[in-house]
A = this chain, B = another copy of it.
Amino acid sequence: MKIIVDGFGGDNAPGEILLGCAQARKELGVEILLTGDRARLEAAARELGIEQDLAGMEILPCGDVLTMEDEATSVIREKSDSSMAVGLRALAEGRGDAFASAGNSGALVVGATAIVKRIRGVKRVSFAPVLPTSTGFVMLNDAGANVDCRPEMLLQFGLLGAEYMKRVMGVQDPRVGLLNVGTESHKGDDLRREAYGLLSACEDVHFVGNIEARDIPTGGCDVAVADGFTGNVALKLFEGVSLTLLGMVKDVFKKNLKTKLGAALVLKEMQEMKKRVDYNEYGGAPIMGASKPIYKIHGNAKAVTVKNALRLTKSYVESGFQERVVQLVRGTDRA
């Protein structure tokens, strides 16, 4: 299997990307096709002392980098020679089995749609991060790719999300919930009420009804279905509240000698817990609905997170997800 990797996506590129790819090659047995400026990649590898690792990877050279500040649409316009755009074209041309990038998510979604193209019958490509809960994981689908949605899109987010959680994350019979302002079926706006009807009627989804946001962190469902506006707010609030609270706990520990001693006694267990809730640990989010697997690595990812993301990307390819989605979406394409 060959994974195409954006050599210049994310905050820590290319160094941590290279290190993560080197680890992935050894541990996962995947081939890597890196996109980006060859001289800069080689210089980074030299600095890190991993020239030999880089020598075992293919490079697809290109001159430009698409940044977080660039417009999403630049991937098909002024940044069409960027490491992201070149990687997406390589995927579309069959030069690899999947594409992974820690770069601009909006651009990745636009590129997935415009360059790699959607699976026939899929309404929209979506951005679907898998977040830690107190009991496991939850996928938020969509979390930002589509701010305006129709009911049948939400149905598909549920269908594809459940399939991913089952095949890639190993969740048996994933429970799909519709993120809403109350649990009763009539709650919310027209979009939610219509989506509720479609999800209830769909035999391929284990729909558990509406779910309130407070039940997401405790694992009230395995896939939370949302329009991209609500999902994006939820994703960022999830991250923001977690980071802020953990920061406040840290401040408590640093307050005085006594609390520092207390901190030392719980250090190991606290680190384990923080690791468990660290969004960064899990590496990122699948982009779903495109004709080939695309994976968004977390923008802050360090080497180990890049490697974890590539492990998930590998599972994504091997899972048979793409083939199954072709069947699943038949009949959901009502509009």
A interface residues (Cβ-Cβ under 8 A, vs B): 133-134, 144, 147-148, 179, 181, 188-189, 212-218, 226, 228-230, 232-249, 251-253, 255, 258-259, 261-266, 269-270, 273, 276-277
What residues on B are CB-neighbors of A133 within 8 Å?
244
Tell me the number of copies of this protein: 2
In angstroms, Cα B253 to Cα A252, docked, is 14
What residues on B are CB-neighbors of A241 within 8 Å?
217, 237-238, 241-242, 245
Q: Measured between C-beta atoms, what is the minimum distance from A147 to chain B in Å?
A: 5
What residues on B are CB-neighbors of A262 within 8 Å?
261-266
In angstroms, Cα B240 to Cα A265, docked, is 28
Q: Measured between C-beta atoms, what is the minimum distance from A180 to chain B in Å?
A: 8
Contact of A216 among B189, B226, B240 (CB under 8 A): B240
Q: Known interface pairs A181-B147, A244-B218. Does A252 touch B233 (Cβ–Cβ under 8 Å)?
A: no
What residues on B are CB-neighbors of A255 within 8 Å?
269
Contact of A266 among B239, B252, B276 (CB under 8 A): B252
B181 and A248 contact, CB distance less than 8 A? no
In angstroms, Cα B148 to Cα A297, docked, is 34
B179 and A233 contact, CB distance less than 8 A? yes
What residues on B are CB-neighbors of A264 within 8 Å?
262
What residues on B are CB-neighbors of A240 within 8 Å?
213-218
Contact of A147 among B189, B228, B249, B270 (CB under 8 A): B189
In angstroms, Cα B264 to Cα A147, docked, is 47
Q: Measured between C-beta atoms, what is the minimum distance from A287 to chain B in Å?
A: 17
In angstroms, Cα B212 to Cα A229, docked, is 11
Q: Measured between C-beta atoms, what is the minimum distance from A79 to chain B in Å?
A: 17
Q: Measured between C-beta atoms, what is the minimum distance from A193 to chain B in Å?
A: 10
B259 and A189 contact, CB distance less than 8 A? no
